[in-house]
Structure 1
């Protein structure tokens, strides 16, 4: 399944730049999301530990 020719055919510079920046933003967003989830998880564990003592 080849993409239709045009702006986002993968050959134009704009398409490559758009794809690269979307990929980069996705990585950054994913990283932040993971860190936020880890922090949330850790604080929940700490809260539960305090509740048990």
Structure 2
């Protein structure tokens, strides 16, 4: 006897929506974080260049 499918068993549409939105959020969050890190690295290099003169 198998138990009825729960909300996160992968059988219900709610689980698919939750998984898809989590995946999308991960991609968006990752790209935003990457942009911020790149901007920080650029400003840090500029500050270092100014400090050497």
TM-score tier after normalising by the smaller chain length: 0.7 to 0.9
Task: Find the residue that maps to 1:41 and give its secondary structure.
Answer: helix
TM-score (normalised: structure 2):
0.87
Higher Cα radius of gyration: 2
Question: Counterparts of 1:12 and 1:28 in 2: how far apart (Å)?
Answer: 25
Question: Would you identify which runs of 4 or more consecutive aligned residues in structure 1 move more than 4 Å?
Answer: none
Counterpart in the other structure of 1:8? 8
TM-score normalised to structure 1 length:
0.87
Corresponding residue pairs, total: 49
SS in 1 for 2:7: coil
Q: 1:1-53, aligned counterparts within 5 Å?
A: 5-53=5-53
CA RMSD of superposed structures (Å): 0.8
